[in-house]
Amino acid sequence: MIGEIILLTCITLFLWNIFKKPPDYPPGPWGLPLFGFIPFNVSKIETQLEELRKKHKNIFSWRIGSRLFVFLCEPKLMKEAFQSQIFADRPDLIIFSILEGQENFGVAGTNGLQWHNNRKFMIRHLKDLGMGKSKLVPSIQHEATEFVKIMKKQVGTPAPIPKALTPAIFNVLWQMVASKRYEFDDQELVDIGNLLNEIRENFAPFFMLDIFPWVKIILPEFVLNFVTKKDKFTALSKLLESKLTKQVKQHVETLDVNNPRDYIDDYLIEMEKKKEEPDSTMSIKDLVNCIADLFVGGLDSTSNSIIWAIFYLAKFPEVQKRIHEEIDEFVPKETLVTLEHKSRYWLYSILLLNHIIFLYTLSILLFSFII
């Protein structure tokens, strides 16, 4: 009997030592072993975060499940953290390991040298291809004009934002990536759009595996699939990968190294140049996943930012009126806006745009924290 008590005590102390909060971690709720401190009242999450900030100042932590979230609540701290090499590592998410068979690719699911190489190449070449520059303006102007034509058909009637917004944004990105544009009703574009929507909708349940990784051990496979939709999410991701791989193969067959057309061509040329270098991580699989990351990460956020801006301006017509007046003052009539019109005279419009993006980003951060 005494031996059993001693054994139980030792096991308890051992488990307590494993699950207790380390003394050098930022202050904040730690919760129960395996479960952490789960925010059950999702609608009040911003209030809970504000209370934690008041209690623990500008750096605090919150453990949900087996994941520890650290919050930085001051611009100076954020800038310091994101510029420091100490914080360069990315979380090792289980979902990417499952999707890629224990081997991660792209930008979102990688770390270390592979992540650094992929991210550096993507940023450099997208800038060269026109992101943030005037050479991309004609594409944006065309897609915006086509979208406005569809919007005008709804004038005077209450209606949701047209679904054509997503194809318009997709076309701008796709012309940089693959030198191709689709009509808004093109079936291939519709299929890709629906696929991306399904992936986004099925991501949150699948993400449970990263918050509660131990459920993989205790739950039968069929229950795990039902709860997390793992099989469906995996199948959707593989389908997207196959569609993008098809586009890459078409580029391989028509590649002219002396006349690169887009991001895919640039990547293929660079990959061939560096194939003998020992630290090169470039591969077709990486290219496909980089493209997927670009669309999954950029398409929805851009679309929602624009929708948020439209709703904001509808809610505050006096703000809408002032922006309209400023645009009329500095942009000649029957002229499309270009980057050349962006100047110190557009102070109000630019400040408001930054404000709207900030409000939308904050709402997404709070939502992302929950899922």
pLDDT tens per residue, range 42-85: 667 778 888 888 999 889 998 888 888 888 888 888 888 877 77
Q: Which residue has the higher pLDDT, 301 or 364?
A: 301
Q: Dihedrals φ, ψ of 62, to 5°? A: -150, 120
Query: Predicted confidence band at 246 (pLDDT cuts at 50, 70, 90)?
Result: very high
Q: What is the dihedral of CA 324, 325, 330, 331, to 10 degrees?
A: 40
Residue 176: closest CA among 246, 267, 271, 257 = 267
Q: What is the dihedral of CA 253, 256, 261, 267, to 10 degrees?
A: 70
Instruction: Answer for the pair 241, 262: CB distance below 8 angstroms, yes or no.
Output: no
Instruction: Answer for the pair 131, 172: CB distance below 8 angstroms, yes or no.
Output: no
How far apart (Å, rounded) are the C-alpha atoms in residues 132 and 109? 25
Instruction: Answer for the pair 63, 20: CB distance below 8 angstroms, yes or no.
Output: no
Burial class (CB in 10 A: 0-12, 13-18, 19+), 137: middle
| pLDDT given at position 43 | 65
Q: Which of 95-99, 266-270, 308-312, 321-325 has the highest mean pLDDT?
A: 266-270
For 365, which DSSP code? Answer: H
What pTM did the predictor assign? 0.77
Q: What is the pLDDT of residues 70-80, one digit of tens each?
A: 888 888 888 88
Tokens, residue 177: 């990536």
At the topology level, CATH places domain 89-300 in: Cytochrome p450 (1.10.630)
Rg (CA), the chain: 24
Domain ranges of the chain: 89-300, 316-371
Query: Predicted confidence band at 366 (pLDDT cuts at 50, 70, 90)?
Result: very low
